[in-house]
Amino acid sequence: MGVATVSSDSVSESDQVGPGRAHWLRVARETADDLATDAVAREQAGKTPFDEVSRLREAGLLTLLVPAELGGGDADWPTAYAVVREIAAADGAIGQLLGCHFFLSWSARFFAEPSLADRIERQSAAEQWCWGGGLARQEPPLTLTETAGGPVLDGRQSYATGVLVADRLAVRAVRADTGEPLAVVVDPSCPGVGIDGDADTFGQRLAAGGSVEFDAVPVAADAVLGSLSVDEDVLSPLVALASPVGRLLSVHLRLGMAEGVLAEVREYSRAGRLIGHPARPAASPEDPQVLSVYGELTVLTRAASALTDQAREAVHGGLTRGEELTYDEYAEISVLVSMAEAATARAVRESADRALDLIGACAASSHLGFDRFWRNARTHTLYEPVTHRLHDVGNYFLNGAHPPFVLPV
């Protein structure tokens, strides 16, 4: 059994109400260039990225996916993926922060009624919210308990992206009476919400990760988006598409980081030395071994990019089909994204690792900051391992088994 993609009828720029893909890609490049100028210093300082979020907000990227009639940028998911890839090439942690924001801020479109999704997105755009949290399964789960005064949320959510800078949190909780998993929106300024910057990771340090404690936090009725159940009577193929849509953000994040480290190392190799340190020469750009390694990493990254493009087109095609999407089509889309996850994980890990060998001992210089690429890539792939995704690909290829509904960490 092979993997086929769903036909994609892309929306042309002339059909869009907002500024269009070309505009947003230009904004993303300008923002990435801005982030790149002080990337090493910011990463080494490791401060909570309020300033970086302000840069994203000022560029209009936080409202990128919100429809124009609701006050947003009116972009589609392929554009959002390209933006994450561009930002990640300059700063992997901010790329992760933005990708998480995109997925969580759009989660109402998957899990809530359209009228509620409209209200949430309109307010999010008007107030320029930055979203954090996570909808992946965790143990022990958060619990939502009915009380005389309404539902309350309790429990502790371990590491989640963006919580240190978020204006809204989207989290997974289970009903105490039925065990049904639900997507819930929480204002982090509410009484009973405690945010702890305890992530302490050696990479992706600017992704604003941390833990959140919920102590009898009141939850309004319209803050419960909908069910995260895997029961096919509840989970339609279109809602299930939330899984590959979210996981494909991680794919573009890894691909952007792989391209970013290769581009930065190439500039260093071309210069032949570290600016300000002429006594530290780089390896010769004519060295056959150096050229072979660059060739290998270029092929690896381009191959991952090609597979990513196929996955992106398949996801976009599935979204375009909407309610007509079938479970068989969803399965093929999900498996194709799994393949891209595996390919980009290998590309970013090998590029970030072997790029240091291309530079040699100079790569140990903290002034250069090349180690941040390796640390960021390794941290992200630890939180998003591909072992299970490879199992899904193999099980689908050999047995035709549909992959499980798994939301990104």
Instruction: Give me the pLDDT at residue 12, please.
Output: 43
The span from the CA of 130 to the CA of 94, in Å, is: 12
219 and 250 share a domain? no
180 and 137 share a domain? yes
What is the 3-class SS of the chain, one letter each residue? Answer: CCCCCCCCCCCCHHHCCCCCHHHHHHHHHHHHHHHHHCHHHHHHHCCCCHHHHHHHHHCCHHHCCCCHHHCCCCCCHHHHHHHHHHHHHHCHHHHHHHHHHHHHHCHHHHHCCHHHHHHHHHHHHHHCCCEEEECCCCCCCEEEEEECCEEEEEEEEEEEECCCCCCEEEEEEEECCCCCEEEEEECCCCCCEEEECCCCCCCCCCCCCEEEEEEEEECCHHHEEEECCCCCCCCCHHHHCHHHHHHHHHHHHHHHHHHHHHHHHHHHHHHCEECCEEEEECCCCCCHHHHHHHHHHHHHHHHHHHHHHHHHHHHHHHHHHHHHCCHHHHHHHHHHHHHHHHHHHHHHHHHHHHHHHHHHHHHHCCCCCCHHHHHHHHHHHHHCCCHHHHHHHHHHHHHCCCCCCCCCC
How far is the CA of 110 from the CAs of 148, 245, 283, in angstroms?
30, 10, 50
The span from the CA of 159 to the CA of 209, in Å, is: 6
Establish if 278 belongs to a structural domain. yes
Q: Which of 124, 61, 48, 125 is nearest to 88 (CA)?
A: 61
The span from the CA of 89 to the CA of 404, in Å, is: 30
Q: Angle formed by the axes of helices 288-321 and 327-359, to 10°?
A: 160
247 and 375 share a domain? yes
Q: Which residues contact 347 (CB under 8 A, 6 or more apart)?
A: 254, 255, 258, 297, 300, 301, 303, 304
Q: Which of 74, 3, 8 is nearest to 318 (CA)?
A: 8
Q: Measured on CA atoms in the order 116, 408, 304, 207, is the torsion positive or negative?
A: positive
Instruction: Give me the pLDDT at residue 272, please.
Output: 64
103 and 183 share a domain? no
145 and 248 share a domain? no
Instruction: Give me the pLDDT at residue 357, please.
Output: 87
Establish if 405 belongs to a structural domain. no
pLDDT in tens, the chain (409 residues): 444 444 444 444 445 566 899 999 999 999 999 999 999 999 999 999 999 999 999 999 999 999 999 999 999 999 999 999 999 999 999 999 999 999 999 999 999 999 999 999 999 999 999 999 999 999 999 999 999 999 999 999 998 999 999 999 999 999 999 999 999 999 999 999 999 999 899 999 999 999 999 999 999 999 999 999 988 677 899 999 999 999 999 999 999 999 999 999 998 888 765 444 444 455 566 678 888 999 999 999 999 999 999 999 999 999 999 999 999 999 999 999 999 999 999 999 999 999 988 888 888 888 889 999 999 999 999 999 999 999 999 999 999 999 999 999 8
Domain boundary among 82, 101, 130: 130
Domain boundary among 114, 130, 146: 130
Give the count of domains, the chain: 3
Establish if 136 belongs to a structural domain. yes
254 and 367 share a domain? yes
Domain boundary among 94, 113, 130: 130
169 and 37 share a domain? no
254 and 349 share a domain? yes
Instruction: Give me the pLDDT at residue 271, please.
Output: 79
Quickly tell me which residue has 């530290």 as its tokens: 280
Instruction: Give me the pLDDT at residue 274, please.
Output: 43
194 and 110 share a domain? no
Establish if 248 belongs to a structural domain. yes
User: The domain containing residue 41 runs over which residues?
Assistant: 13-130
Q: Which of 256, 241, 243 is nearest to 344 (CA)?
A: 256
388 and 294 share a domain? yes
The span from the CA of 30 to the CA of 76, in Å, is: 20
Establish if 342 belongs to a structural domain. yes
Q: Would you tell me how many other CB atoms lie within 10 Å of the CB of residue 159?
A: 18
Q: Which residues contact 309 (CB under 8 A, 6 or more apart)?
A: none
Establish if 221 belongs to a structural domain. yes
Instruction: Give me the pLDDT at residue 362, please.
Output: 81
Instruction: Give me the pLDDT at residue 273, please.
Output: 53
Q: Domain containing 74 — which CATH number?
A: 1.10.540.10
Establish if 404 belongs to a structural domain. no
Whole-prediction pTM: 0.93
73 and 48 share a domain? yes
366 and 312 share a domain? yes
Q: Domain containing 348 — which CATH number?
A: 1.20.140.10
Instruction: Give me the pLDDT at residue 17, please.
Output: 65
Establish if 4 belongs to a structural domain. no
Q: Domain containing 195 — which CATH number?
A: 2.40.110.10
